Amino acid sequence: MAERLVGKPAPAFTMETVSGDGESFGQVSLSDYKGKWLIFFFYPMDFTFVCPTEITALSNRYDEFKKLNCEVLGVSTDSKFSHRAWIKTPVEENGLGKIQYPLASDNTHQVSKEYGVYFEPDGTAMRGLFIIDPEGVIRYQVVSDDAVGRSAEETLRVLQALQSGGLCPADWKPGQKHLVAK
């Protein structure tokens, strides 16, 4: 079972990345996101079936996240070279295609372990999503079955709720009232 990390400082990391267009390699650290919100999500592996649906869905909503001072970073235990090949492979050929944010490589499995999403039997990360606030504290954590992709719309809604500063009931949306503690 994944450890509860909500309310705790996010474990620091440094990983190699490939840009969302597949053109360049780089490196990313948690400290690069200081002062911004971060959607930090793990997925099992490249060249699979469910993963590209959620990666693309988050990319399609990327501008909305940016407007909320939020960045997005995806990570799996695959290498940066695998990420690049997947991005460069056409969608019709089971490729990912270009996205608007980088993919990171946790090929040492260290980051997946520290975030409690490492699945030892396969050497992969489970589907884990974390929302990290501008001070580096984990404010939201969800780990789900590999067969079910996550909702970009729900991730955006939760980010907006966290940023609203109030008590948000189920299905709360921006503009709606907060609950009042009695």
**Quick check: is 182 in a domain?**
no
Helix boundaries (H) for the chain: 51-60, 62-67, 80-88, 110-114, 152-164
Rounded to an integer, what distance in angstroms lies between the CA atom of residue 21 and that of residue 60?
A: 14
> Which two three-digit tokens encode residue 107?
């090929």
At 2, is the pLDDT very low, low, confident or very high (cuts 50, 70, 90)?
low
User: Percentage of the chain with pLDDT > 90?
Assistant: 76
At 181, is the pLDDT very low, low, confident or very high (cuts 50, 70, 90)?
confident
Residue 93 sits in which domain range? 14-149
Rounded to an integer, what distance in angstroms lies between the CA atom of residue 74 and that of residue 15?
A: 11
Over residues 158-179, the mean pLDDT reads 87
Q: Is 51 a catalytic residue?
A: yes
Quote the DSSP letter at residue 30.
G
- 127-132 vs 37-42, strand pairing mode: antiparallel
**Quick check: is 133 in a domain?**
yes
**Quick check: is 125 in a domain?**
yes
Q: State residue 7's pLDDT score.
A: 92
pLDDT above 90 (res 150): no
**Quick check: is 30 in a domain?**
yes
pTM: 0.93
Three-point CA angle 120, 74, 40, nearest 5°: 90
**Quick check: is 157 in a domain?**
no
Return the closest-CA partner of residue 43 out of 99, 134, 120, 119. 119
Select which of 51, 73, 152, 158 is catalytic: 51
**Quick check: is 48 in a domain?**
yes
**Quick check: is 1 in a domain?**
no
Q: State residue 50's pLDDT score.
A: 85
Q: Which residue has the tokens 């695998």?
A: 82
CATH of the domain at 110: 3.40.30.10
pLDDT above 60 (res 134): yes
The total number of structural domains in the chain stands at: 1
pLDDT above 70 (res 1): no
At 175, is the pLDDT very low, low, confident or very high (cuts 50, 70, 90)?
confident
**How far, in Å, are 100, 117, 163, 165 from residue 159 at the CA level?**
18, 21, 6, 11
Facing residues of 8 across strands? none
